């Protein structure tokens, strides 16, 4: 590699580092897994992104401008700036997959990255995975939130106050047993782990053929199954270091735009929304002050 190219790469990396630092400074809050998701977006540069469970849009808005994004949530409360190529469907994921053609919504492009973070019950995560897999390409990456529960109360099917990861972890146990050809790992990232699944086979009918038996069998697992065994081994836990995580992902970035351009565009969008909401707050304050007292 020529010295000039090396210098260019070093400058570009430094620029991306500075822009990203500012980006994270202006975002309202950041859980540890957001940083990992961001790193994955920067590495894979997905052309298409599907998110089940959008809520405020905190994870959705990590996807770079220009990517075709689909979000599904029956009660979206989007408070972050979405790009023009993002569509949110206000319905459950079951309704979405029953009534819509993902391939058409993605304009015939393959699904590069999907993130399952909807209803935190095992059977919902299972159906989300099955529906995504039948729409997947061989190089699709599926991420599943909440696969490494921290304790029994937060892994309950009934939502406790505070942290709730539910029994999504059973999906990992099931896929390891019934779909050994898939590559299934869980990254040890706070608060409750991130599952990474690759090697999808859209034509596989293993899960569909035995859905009822599988749902009934794995639903009966209890948290003691993890406590009585080696939880990390049962759930294929890997450390959250990038050299390890990178090996779980497909090797090529999907988009060809330079990363410095994409990070700048995303940070500019976030910055603009901060400026707009500050201006809105100022306007409201001013209105209150100038309103005549009754």
Ligand X SMILES: C[S@@+](CC[C@H](N)C(=O)[O-])C[C@H]1O[C@@H](n2cnc3c(N)ncnc32)[C@H](O)[C@@H]1O
Which residues ranging from 106 to 135 are in contact with ligand X (CB under 6 A)? 117-119, 124
Options 53-61, 231-239, 242-250, 257-265: segment touching ligand X (CB under 6 A):
53-61
**288 phi/psi in degrees, rounded to 5:** -60, -45
Q: Which residues pair with 196 in a beta bridge?
A: 143, 185
Q: Give Dmax (Cα) for the chain.
A: 74
Options 51-59, 133-141, 248-256, 276-284: segment touching ligand X (CB under 6 A):
51-59
Options 54-62, 177-185, 227-235, 265-273: segment touching ligand X (CB under 6 A):
54-62
Binding residues for ligand X, total number by CB under 6 A: 17
Task: CB nearer to ligand X: give 15 or 156.
Answer: 156
**132 phi/psi in degrees, rounded to 5:** -70, -45
Within 10 angstroms of residue 53's Cβ, the number of other Cβ atoms is 23
92 contacts ligand X (rule: CB under 6 A):
yes
81 contacts ligand X (rule: CB under 6 A):
no
In the complex, the smallest distance separating the C-beta of residue 246 from ligand X, rounded to whole angstroms, is 22
Tracing tokens 């979206």 back to the chain, one arrives at 76
Residue 87: name the closest of 106, 103, 71 by CA: 71
In the complex, the smallest distance separating the C-beta of residue 252 from ligand X, rounded to whole angstroms, is 26
Task: CB nearer to ligand X: give 33 or 218.
Answer: 33
In the complex, the smallest distance separating the C-beta of residue 294 from ligand X, rounded to whole angstroms, is 40
167 contacts ligand X (rule: CB under 6 A):
no
**How far apart are the C-alpha atoms of 72 and 40, rounded to whole Å?**
21
Options 70-78, 166-174, 235-243, 274-282: segment touching ligand X (CB under 6 A):
70-78
How far, in Å, are 54, 62, 64, 79, 165 from residue 143 at the CA level?
A: 14, 14, 17, 23, 15
**How far apart are the C-alpha atoms of 270 and 10, rounded to whole Å?**
25
Q: Which residues bind ligand X (CB under 6 A)?
A: 52-56, 58-59, 72-75, 92-93, 117-119, 124
């Amino acid at each position: 590699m020529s010295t000039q190219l090396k210098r260019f790469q070093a400058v570009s990396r430094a620029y991306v580092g500075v822009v990203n630092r500012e980006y994270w400074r202006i975002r309202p809050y950041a859980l540890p897994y957001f940083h990992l998701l961001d790193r994955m977006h920067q590495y894979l540069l997905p052309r298409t992104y599907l998110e089940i469970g959008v809520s405020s849009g905190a994870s959705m808005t990590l996807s770079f401008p220009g990517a075709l994004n689909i979000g599904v949530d029956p009660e979206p409360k989007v408070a972050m700036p979405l790009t023009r190529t993002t569509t949110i469907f206000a319905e459950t994921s079951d309704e979405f997959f029953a009534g819509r053609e993902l391939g058409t919504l993605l304009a015939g492009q393959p699904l590069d990255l999907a993130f399952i973070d909807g209803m935190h019950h095992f059977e919902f995560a299972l159906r989300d995975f099955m529906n995504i897999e039948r729409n997947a390409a061989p190089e699709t990456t599926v991420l599943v939130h909440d696969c490494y529960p921290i304790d029994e109360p937060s892994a309950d099917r009934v939502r406790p106050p505070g942290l709730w990861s539910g029994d999504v972890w059973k999906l990992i146990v099931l896929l390891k047993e019934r779909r050994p050809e898939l590559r299934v790992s869980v990254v040890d990232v706070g608060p409750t782990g991130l599952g990474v699944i690759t090697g999808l086979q859209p034509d596989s009918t293993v899960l569909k053929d035995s859905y009822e038996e599988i749902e009934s069998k794995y639903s009966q697992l209890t948290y003691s199954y993890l406590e009585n065994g080696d939880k990390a081994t049962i759930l294929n836990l890997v450390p959250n270091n990038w050299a390890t995580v990178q090996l779980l992902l497909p090797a090529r970035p999907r988009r060809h735009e330079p990363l410095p351009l994409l990070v700048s565009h995303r940070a500019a969008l976030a910055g603009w929304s901060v400026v707009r909401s500050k201006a809105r707050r100022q306007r409201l304050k001013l209105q209150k002050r100038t309103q005549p007292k009754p």
